[in-house]
Structure 1
Amino acid sequence: MKSESKNQHVGKVTHHELKQTLGTWQLWGIAVGLVISGEYFGWSYGWASAGTLGFVITAIFIAAMYTTFIFSFTELTTSIPHAGGPFAYARHAFGPTGGYLAGAATLVEFVFAPPAIALAIGAYLHVQFPGLEPKHAAMGAYLVFMALNIVGVQIAAAFELCVTLLAIFELFVFMGVVSPGFQWSNFTKGGWSGADTFSMGSFHGMFAAIPFAIWFFLAIEGVAMAAEEAKNPKRSIPIAYVTGILTLVVLAIGVMVFAGAAGDWTKLSNINDPLPQAMKFIVGEHSGWMHMLVWLGLFGLVASFHGIILGYSRQIFALARAGYLPEWLSRVHPRFKTPHRAIIAGGVVGIAAIYSDELIQFGGQTLTANIVTMSVFGAIVMYIISMLSLFKLRRAEPNMERPFRAPLFPVFPAFALVAAVICLATMVYFNFLVAIVFAIFLALGYVYFLMTRHQREAAPADALLEE
């Protein structure tokens, strides 16, 4: 019977395979593109609680966490190049339950990030077309980019690289256009949670701003989910990760400083389109530069939106293939070889979130802020489990092939782990209602996990996780 079952699994695998087509440049485009919308919006919500100077300190701490995390995470990605990414690493290290926790957290991160970005796309389009309802525009973005992802990963990755390069170019254009009005006094005025001098209350604001500093870098780890589609993942992924995080750190610092120094930063701290509004301080509302920023600024949002659709679809695909979600979600399109059902399923959840104001707009925060915070909760839990997996595999499987080893081990992964735990604790304190909703998601998912053991036993053999 075991032999028969194994043969059935082998026959099934052909319906669950992805094509290896991605090169280093395309992976770099995915790495930066996944995140670059974080330079266009989201981060400025952190100014509302921390002020500009307080948020700089928070952002530096988070940048250090991400840099050490990515250098450590790359070891896992190259050792276990699997579409499940963190789910696969935790499953390898801690078994099915560990796989569930990492997979569920990653799913929350990648399914809740796109609605926030889609709403920002709607806000940018609303600047140009005041009669266009932002939510309807957000839904339209979902439909267009789900279709593009279904057509093929190589086309999707080529598009991602192009829009990412345009988005980076536009950020430099923004910095250049506002530079004539650059005044450091604008940036520092009220820079400590609204006050001009540092006080103990400034710490409160800096910790409260953590989710929005994380938004600067959120989802760069999604490159791991394209590992099965990379031509040479053990070489190309480390290059993509390292150059990607360095690119994003430079852009984050530049955008934040130039926007804050352009005028009254308090007018930018609770909106979805801070860059066009910052440019208004310098060139006025009707300037051609302003309209160009709105149009080209969409490239940054589109790059992340499009890339994260790729990321969530691969996570749903991998979880379904392993029996953690219904098997039919792991089917790939017979012609395009993309996980079309997973793409559509994540899109349905995202569109529902966009139109769920009453459910998601609570705790005194905007709809976008709560969606961002929910996504960040998933990310932080996944970061913690991933670093624990790294330590466990180093101890339990010292002879595992590791094409890339985390530098300064154990210092780098330990710093990333401790920083992530601090982030999680402060986020629970400042966003207790969102934390409760996140915990309910995980609990309901765990009940499903316990009830569907038979799905995992019947799932196709996964050679990458059985070695």
Structure 2
Amino acid sequence: MAEIRNVSGVSYTPAGAGYFEKRTLQRTAGFWGLWGLGIAAVISGAFSGWNVGLSTTGWGGLLIAMIIIVIMYFTMIFSIGEMSAAMPHTGGAYSFARAALGPWGGFVTGLAETIEYVVTTSVIVLFSASYANSALSTLTGVSLPGPVWWAILFALFIGLNSLGASIGFRFALIVAIISMAVILIFAILAVANGAVDFSRVLDITPAGANSTFLPFGAVGILFSLPFAIWFFLGIEELPLAAEEAKNPSRDIPRASVWGVITLAFFGMLILFLNPAVTGSKAITVSPGDGDEPLLAGFRAFLPDSVAAVLAIGALIGLLASLQGIMFAYGRNMYSLSRAGYYPKFLSLTGAKHKTPWVALLVGGIIGYIILTVVVIIIPATNPDLAAAARGVILFIAVFGAVISYMMQMVSFVILRRKFPNAKRPYTSPTGVAGAIIALVIAFGAFLGIVLAPTFAVAVVTFIVIFVVGIGLFALYGRHQLVLSPEEEYALSGGLHGDPQTEGYDAMESEVFDKK
């Protein structure tokens, strides 16, 4: 078989007849579908997860961190928008880094994003199961074990995501709107019932001579950055929908920017009102109200039966994110598999619905195993780690995200110089300076994870997964690459960009005929 060798230490082989036809996606999404997908993927961050940071950083630290992270996401999304418009194919972060940093940089970035999205899916399933069981037990007196809920949720949403992108985008938009409505209802009812008392947000006892605003000192701001990211984590996934968007170069940047604006509004609403109703200290406990801070807020001023009904609305928010993040890991694994970085069978799509069902199924199985290990096996072998185990998986997800963010911002700066003649239908209003700002803040969040002793297990676990992944790629994957659209863009210097107009094997004849 013909090969191209010695391209940054990797080898390419011809895709073969019918290769891309078996890996076809369908264009169905416009601006609103993309915006809904972005909101759906992230909105669960307002329902669970963020509040864990209150116990280690305090409300003031989290507020300041939130402002910093909003700046990071705006500058980062501007940069990602420019790259996604120039590279309208499914690879997303992997594609950007592949073009800028070569195949090894592309693989590392893609692997970090795979870990981010698969683990985030597990976290959302965990929180969703908690909300669902609380509502069910309050309304009916029936309770189901966690593993049963996990199986139900994974099976349900793998099935939904496999039914076709058009159904997935519509579902995401509907549940995103419902989720935002639930937060607005909480805000209106909390104010109307006189339940809001802003003195409660500062009820965490300060350490030493620190203030109640920063009970753990200014260093708490650094440790708050990863928790503030949880309000936005996932909005950067929209470039993964490029081959399913009708006009990706125009709509993905617009949907991403408006997504950040929307999420910043609802994130601030929750950050101010939820602790003002319950008190900050009350929603840091896990398991318990720490898993369900918004439900704890409803319970603070409503009867349990009414709060349980509204908890179903909160559950919809979590399920919205389950839909959106599952879409992300499916497309991320699909694009890396289609290019040969992961086993190629993962990129197969269904003949009827044109969705990467194999990647969705395999990612779900991995997610279920993660929950089983973290929530059942680890606490059973060491009860002292039971409380920390849930935080570990959340931080593995955030750790993967910040590594991906840093790699993408480095890629942006390099691509501005490396591919000066590449077509850029959208340009970042903050340019290279904005990318550098986002890079610095992302690095701060990286330090906030690495330097926090509480999350050393998460860092070590991530590094182990990373080393194993890189080792497998070095031994096997680097010799299996295919000229997918992401690889063609990188190898052509940005001249081959849009598979919709050029076809999915635009460079095959140029390269392999010469061999």
Which of 424, 428, 437 is the aligned partner of 1:415?
A: 437
Equivalent residues of 1:54, 1:192 under 8 A apart: no
Shift of 1:365: 4.6
Give the residue type in structure 2 aligned to 1:278.
G
Q: 1:154 aligns with which of 166, 169, 175?
A: 166
Identical-residue share of aligned pairs (%): 30
* Amino acid of the structure 2 residue aligned with 1:18: L
Contact 1:23/1:232 (<8 A) preserved = yes
Conservation of the 8 A alpha-carbon contact between 1:125 and 1:134 = no
Assess, with a 3 A threshold, how the Cα gap between structure 1 residues 238 and 307 changes in structure 2: closer, same or farther. same
Give 3-state SS (helix, strand or coil) of 2:217's partner. helix
**Mapped pair 1:219 → 2:216:** no
- Note if 1:323 corresponds to 2:340: yes
The CA deviation at 1:136 is: 1.8
Deviations 1:416-467 (A, max 9, x none): 0011111112211112221111111111111111112464345657544443
In the alignment, is residue 343 of structure 1 matched against residue 350 of structure 2?
A: no
Alignment partner, residue 466 of structure 2: 442
Quote the residue 2:26 is aligned against: 19
Matches of residues 379-418 of structure 1 in structure 2 within 5 Å? 379-418=401-440
Matches of 1:3 and 1:143 in 2, distance apart? 40
Rounded Cα–Cα distance in structure 2 between residues aligned with 1:30 and 1:222: 9
User: 1-side partners of 2:477 and 2:135: how far apart?
Assistant: 51
How is 1:294-373 mapped onto 2 (pairs within 5 angstroms)?
294-356=311-373, 357=375, 365-373=387-395
| CA–CA separation in structure 2 for the residues paired with 1:310 and 1:281 | 35
Whether 2:270 is the aligned partner of 1:251: answer no
* 8 A Cα contact 1:24 1:236, kept in partner: yes
Contact 2:178 2:316 in 1 (8 A): yes
2:37 alignment partner, one of 12, 16, 30: 30
How many angstroms apart in 2 are the aligned matches of 1:334 and 1:340? 10
Give the 3 Å change call, closer, same or farther, for CA 382–174 of structure 1 in structure 2: same
CA distance in 2, matches of 1:386, 1:373: 20
Paired AA for residue 312 in structure 1: Y
Q: Offset of 1:124 from its aligned partner?
A: 0.6
Instruction: Rate the CA distance shift 1:360–1:402 in 2: closer, same or farther, 3 A.
Output: farther
- After TM superposition, the structure 1 = structure 2 runs for residues 63-462 of structure 1, keeping only pairs within 5 Å, are 63-130=70-137, 131-179=143-191, 180-190=194-204, 196-197=211-212, 201-270=216-285, 271-286=290-305, 288=306, 290-356=307-373, 357=375, 365-430=387-452, 431-453=455-477, 455-457=479-481
AA aligned to 1:188 is L
* Counterpart secondary structure, 1:410: helix
What residue identity is the alignment partner of 2:68?
F
Give the distance between the partners of 1:91 and 1:104, measured in 2 at CA: 12
Listed as ranges, the gaps of 5+ residues in structure 1 are none
Q: TM-score, normalised by structure 2?
A: 0.86
The question of 1:42 aligning with 2:41 is answered no
Contact 1:30 1:160 in 2 (8 A): yes
Q: Which is greater in Rg? A: 2
Choose between structure 1 and 2: higher helix proportion.
1
CA distance in 2, matches of 1:193, 1:86: 40
> Could you tell me how far apart the structure 1 residues matched to 2:125 and 2:47 are?
12
* Larger displacement relative to structure 2 (134-143 or 201-210): 201-210
The answer as to whether partners of 1:24 and 1:240 remain within 8 angstroms in 2 is: yes
Quote the Cα distance in structure 2 between the aligned partners of 1:360 and 1:442: 21
Task: Give, in whole Å, the separation in 1 of the partners of 2:103 and 2:20.
Answer: 20
The one-letter code of the counterpart of 1:141 is: L
What is the CA–CA distance in structure 2 between the aligned matches of 1:363 and 1:208, rounded to whole Å? 20
Q: Please give the secondary structure, in 2, of the residue aligned with 1:129.
A: helix
- The total of aligned residue pairs comes to 465
CA RMSD between the two structures: 2.2
Shift of the alpha carbon at 1:201?
Answer: 3.6
Letter paired with 1:379: A
Name the amino acid aligned to 2:172: E
Deviation string for 1:237-288 (max 9, x for gaps)? 11101110000000000011111111332111131100111122222434x2
Counterpart amino acid of 2:260?
A: I
Q: What is the alpha-carbon distance in structure 2 between the residues aligned to residue 434 and residue 7 of structure 1?
A: 39
Query: What's the CA shift for 1:21?
Result: 1.2
**CA offsets, 1:4-39, max 9 Å, x none?**
998753531111221111111000001111100000
Q: Please tell me whether the aligned partners of residues 51 and 191 of structure 1 are also in contact (alpha carbons under 8 angstroms).
A: no
CA contact (8 A) 2:205 2:215 kept: no
Identify the residue that residue 52 of structure 1 maps to in structure 2. Answer: 59
Distance (Å, rounded) in 1 between the aligned partners of 2:394 and 2:215 = 27
Q: What per-residue deviation string (whole Å, max 9, x for no partner) do you get for residues 383-440 of structure 1?
A: 0000010011001111111111111222211100011111112211112221111111
Per the TM alignment, residue 354 of structure 1 is displaced from its structure 2 partner at its CA by 1.5
Q: Any gaps of 5 or more consecutive residues in structure 2?
A: 5-11, 138-142, 497-515
Change (3 A) 1:227 1:199: closer
53 and 71 in structure 1: CA distance in 2 versus 1, 3 angstrom threshold: same
Whether the 8 Å CA contact 2:128–2:319 is kept in 1: the answer is yes
Query: So what's the TM-score if we normalise by structure 1?
Result: 0.94
CA contact (8 A) 2:118 2:329 kept: yes
Structure 1 residue identity aligned to 2:464: I
Q: Distance in 1 between matches of 2:482 and 2:426?
A: 33
Structure 2 distance, partners of 1:52, 1:8, is: 54
Spell out, residue by residue over 1:200-245, the C-alpha distance to the aligned partner (whole angstroms, 9 max, x if none).
Answer: 8422333223322111110111111111110000111111011100
